[in-house]
Structure 1
Amino acid sequence: MKRALIIGSSGGIGAALAQALEARDIETVGLSRSVDGLDITSEDSVAEALGHLEGTFDLIFVATGALRINGAAPEKSLDAVDARALADQYAVNAIGPLLILKHARRLLPRHDTSVFAVLSARVGSIGDNRLGGWYGYRAAKAGVNQFIHGASIELGRKYKGLCCICLHPGTVETDFTNGYQDRHATVTPDVAAARLLDVVCGLTSRDSGRFLDYTGKDIPW
């Protein structure tokens, strides 16, 4: 791997990924909302930000996401479901990464090995859902899994060395998980980044379309 693009490079996991890649002497380009004004919910913003980039990337990692949007917390029951909050979740956590892929595919090599990775979450697994609740976030993560799986089939016809993958990072000690860290064992962003990169570096085009955790194990759809 020689060159990487991190979308969401100012966030906890994104920043740690960028630092870990640079420590491995991999040229790393980062884009984020806070630094570059990239709004993944706006296709115009995505097209403009990615349109300025040239060359190809061996790794494009979408490390964006949100659990609370506009003050709306994860729903504990149907009574808490709100149409606007559901739409916001889907825009940020599902549609946004797909828009990135739509406009970033020209930055992927046609024949050499490459990886397009998206942060997903175990709670997006329908088969593993035993608790219910969290309607918007769960559905959005299930949605991005479907989007990336579907795109892996289409792009696999032209990008022979490409692996499109959804990754669960575990519970990471960031602002994103603040207030929910007591429910699961947590790791620092640096540890999460190292584990994710270990998985990424072992992927080939044969893995494209899978949903994996930070150990490289499959998660049920």
Structure 2
Amino acid sequence: MADSTLEDQPLAADTFARLPQGFCALVTGASGGIGRALIAELLAHPHCKKVLAVSRDVSCLAAHPELETLEADLTTEQGTASLEQWLAQQLDGESEAGQPPALILNALGLLHDEREQLWPEKRLEDLSLAALTRLHQVNAFAPALLLGMLAPRLRRRTPVIFASLSARVGSISDNRSGGWYAYRASKASHNMLLKTAAIEIARRNPEALLVALHPGTTDTGLSTPFQARVPEGKLFTTGFVARRLLRVACELPPTASGGFYDWAGQAIEW
């Protein structure tokens, strides 16, 4: 359950007021718990006309007339190329649906993988090149390459929001417990890449907002092995997190671009 001190209300009609009426949204990492919840909230809102969803496996996404899906692994060159080609087909036509995405939500993330024997490290001796490489590939490099691919579409001087999931453990100044080397480092890299991109994109489009968001501990497969340690009231549902992240992303002004915020809208130190 979410923190009872913060009301969990449905998204207001004016949540996406900064974006064009009938905007198009792009969600990557769409098959994860938070990704699916974000899609559900977008499809239920009258302001959003179309959702483009990308994941390695889209079979879990229910069919919807306003939802288009692409099965692609964005940690590979082939997957990135497939997305670029697909976006051109989806967005560059003459129809009304040919508008570039005004809201891009990156929900890609990896903390552990039993099949690949990847687990958060407790000590230096647990470090491996395989874990460091894989977590950086998913958590840092894939979002940065996604931004690079989308950059030409962000040049227009109209409001656009790129929100990418990060984690508080990626904050260097907030690191007081140690451990989790590869995950911490990959999220810190994610934050630096996004911050750097925000500076460049601001020169092209002062209406653009690029922001890193910490969702809190959410009841998904990523957190399942570690939920026993979560304090009472601090394990959030995916629906709650999706609504909070959408509110935060849409309430932040362009001057906040390149920032790092949590699900409650509080700034997180780098």
Calculate the TM-score normalised by the size of structure 1: 0.96
SS at match of 2:169: helix
User: How far does the alpha carbon of each residue in 1:84-109 deviate from its partner, in whole angstroms, 9 at most, with x for none?
Assistant: 11111111110011011111223336
Of the three residues 220, 244, 249, the one matched with 1:174 is 220
Stretches of structure 2 that go unaligned for 5 or more consecutive residues are 1-18, 59-69, 92-98
| In structure 1, C-alpha distance between the alignment counterparts of 2:85 and 2:253, rounded to whole Å | 27
Q: Is the 8 A contact 1:116 1:164 kept in 2?
A: yes
| In structure 2, C-alpha distance between the alignment counterparts of 1:220 and 1:160, rounded to whole Å | 23
Q: Is the 8 A contact 1:8 1:14 kept in 2?
A: yes
Deviation at 1:151, TM superposition (A): 0.3
Residue aligning to 1:212: 261
| In structure 1, C-alpha distance between the alignment counterparts of 2:189 and 2:158, rounded to whole Å | 28
SS at match of 2:104: strand
Asked if 1:39 is matched to 2:81, the reply is no
Q: Which amino acid aligns with 1:133?
A: G
Asked if 1:97 is matched to 2:143, the reply is yes
| In structure 2, C-alpha distance between the alignment counterparts of 1:37 and 1:151, rounded to whole Å | 26
Quick check: which has more Rg, 1 or 2? Answer: 2
Residue aligning to 1:63: 107
Deviates more, 1:128-137 or 1:70-79: 70-79
Q: Which amino acid aligns with 2:264?
A: T
Provide the identity percentage. 40
Calculate the TM-score normalised by the size of structure 2: 0.79
Q: Normalized per residue, which structure has more helix?
A: 1
Deviation at 1:159, TM superposition (A): 1.6
Q: Which amino acid aligns with 2:109?
A: G
Residue aligning to 1:162: 208
Residues 1-221 of structure 1: pairs in structure 2 closer than 5 A? 1=19, 2-25=23-46, 26=48, 27-35=50-58, 36-53=70-87, 54=91, 55-69=99-113, 70-108=116-154, 110-184=156-230, 185-221=234-270
SS at match of 1:157: helix
Q: 4+ residue runs of structure 1 moved beyond 6 angstroms?
A: none
Q: Which amino acid aligns with 2:41?
A: A
Stretches of structure 1 that go unaligned for 5 or more consecutive residues are none
User: How far does the alpha carbon of each residue in 1:106-157 deviate from its partner, in whole angstroms, 9 at most, with x for none?
Assistant: 3336111111111000000000000000000000000000000000001111
Q: Is the 8 A contact 2:165 2:214 kept in 1?
A: yes
SS at match of 1:212: strand
**Matched positions, count:** 221
